[in-house]
Structure 1
Amino acid sequence: MKKFLTIILSTFLLSCNGQENKKEITNNKKMDKENLEYVTFGGGCFWCVESCFNMLKGVDVAVSGYAGGHTKNPTYEEVSTGKTGHAEVVQLAYDPKIISYEQLMDIFFFLHDPTTLNRQGNDVGTQYRSAIFYKDEAEKVKAEEGLKISEASGKWNGKYVTEVTKLEKFWPAEQYHQGYYEANPTQPYCSAIVGPKIAKFKKHYGALGMLNPEDSE
């Protein structure tokens, strides 16, 4: 019985930090590159956020990376210390004719808790902060408006702590982080935390026809 309780407790104490596997996977979706725009979100551990956004029609690719820090070429190990100032983020290349910025914002606020400061579940630190990185003033206005709308909706109980800040530089994460869940679904953190969140995402947004057919099965 004691051993069983230890296993259960260990599952709940899992965090994104330090759970590495060198298996790699790449995204091969093809879209009309001329129509693509970009947006960068920070919503806790990037493994889950990236996986969900990569399922959406209109999203060419979601890339895990780092933004908002003060060092060049940050590594996962450095960012995980919280000393570089970077947040784990996902940058989306999307076609606004297929999926809107507002829809992406709605999904972003669905995928993480925007009311917890520097924390998502057991992932604690400034690298897990809720953040929207904008490229220009027009996008800043849309981000701030979307944040107000979501907060007023009552979807989350509490005041939003989401940071809205200008994107100075996006640093892609190491290759083994790209498509991490798809390559490592049985890894402990993935199976206990990421998998259930992705299933919830599919259930909520699949009915809206926003997922690719093969992803909504």
Structure 2
Amino acid sequence: MTIETITLGGGCFWCTEAVYEQVDGVLSVESGYSNGQVEDPSYEQVCQGDTGHAEVVRVRFDNERIPLREVLEIFFTIHDPTTLNRQGNDVGTQYRSGIYVHDAQQAQVAREVIAEVDAASGGRVVTELQPETNYWRAEDYHQHYFANHPGQGYCAFVVAPKVEKFRKTFRARVKA
């Protein structure tokens, strides 16, 4: 087993977390805040947009069961990498599209995948690629949010369709 961690910002972390919790080969998913300037920010601070943090998920996966390239292909399928600081009705720098890498090899794979997605979108990808810095785990109530609140309005109307899109597009990658 080769365990790797990648940090991904694809808008609201509830959406991204809900998908990756269902991916075969993913060992754990943690919602958090990354690449901002404030130490240990709260959700309220991040939502105000002045900490510089993105809402992210840290994805721990077995690279022998699912390679990073596929982790990133899922990422680019479940969010819109062409809208700057926005995913749907969620607007602000905290909702930016970002890949926050943990080593040079991840950066190389991410550059390749970003280039492919950018070419397919006509050069509109705005996903930032940076080393992960100043990461903080989100509050406990944000962890496993969709699993714990599937009937909540945002979950039913925003998160659930993203999970369903993943399940249809990547059938072979859904956990048994």
Question: How would you bin the TM-score normalised by the shorter chain?
Answer: over 0.9
CA spacing shift, 1:180–1:157, aligned 2, 3 Å: farther
| Aligned equivalent of 2:38 | 71
What does the per-residue CA deviation read over 1:119-147, in whole Å, with 9 as the maximum and x for residues that have no partner?
A: 00000000000001012222212211110
Distance 2:164 2:109 in 1: 29
Q: d(CA) in 2 for partners of 1:107 and 1:79?
A: 25
Counterpart residue number, 1:11 = none
Instruction: Find the partner of 1:192 among 157, 169, 176.
Output: 157
DSSP 3-state at the match of 2:81: coil
- 139-148 vs 82-91, which moves further: 139-148
Equivalent in the alignment of 1:212: 175
Q: Distance in 2 between matches of 1:123 and 1:158?
A: 23
Matches within 5 A, 1:100-111: 100-111=67-78
Amino acid at match of 2:36: G
Letter of the 2:39 partner, please give it: K
Is residue 11 of structure 2 the alignment partner of residue 44 of structure 1? yes
Match of 1:201 in 2: 166
Mark the structure with the bigger radius of gyration.
1
Counterpart contact for 2:117–2:125, Cα < 8 Å: no
The structure where strand makes up a greater share of residues is: 2
Aligned equivalents of 2:21 and 2:6: distance in 1? 13
Q: Is the aligned partner of 1:128 residue 2:95?
A: yes
Between 79-88 and 197-206, the greater mean CA deviation after superposition: 197-206
| Gap regions ≥5 residues in structure 1 | 1-31
C-alpha deviation, 1:113, in angstroms? 0.3
- Helix, strand or coil at the partner of 1:190: helix
Mapping of residues 115-154 of structure 1, within 5 Å: 115-152=82-119, 154=120
Instruction: Give the root-mean-square deviation of aligned CA atoms.
Output: 1.2
**Residues of 2 paired with 1:196 and 1:111: CA distance?**
9
1:84 aligns with 2:51: yes
Q: Which amino acid aligns with 1:175?
A: D
Q: C-alpha displacement at 1:157, in angstroms?
A: 5.7
Aligned length: 176
The percent identity for this pair of structures is: 44
The TM-score normalised by the length of structure 1 is 0.78
Question: Which runs of no fewer than 5 residues in structure 2 stay unpaired?
Answer: none
The partner residue of 1:170 within 113, 135, 138 is: 135
In 2, distance between residues paired with 1:139 and 1:210? 21
Question: 1-side partners of 2:66 and 2:43: how far apart?
Answer: 30
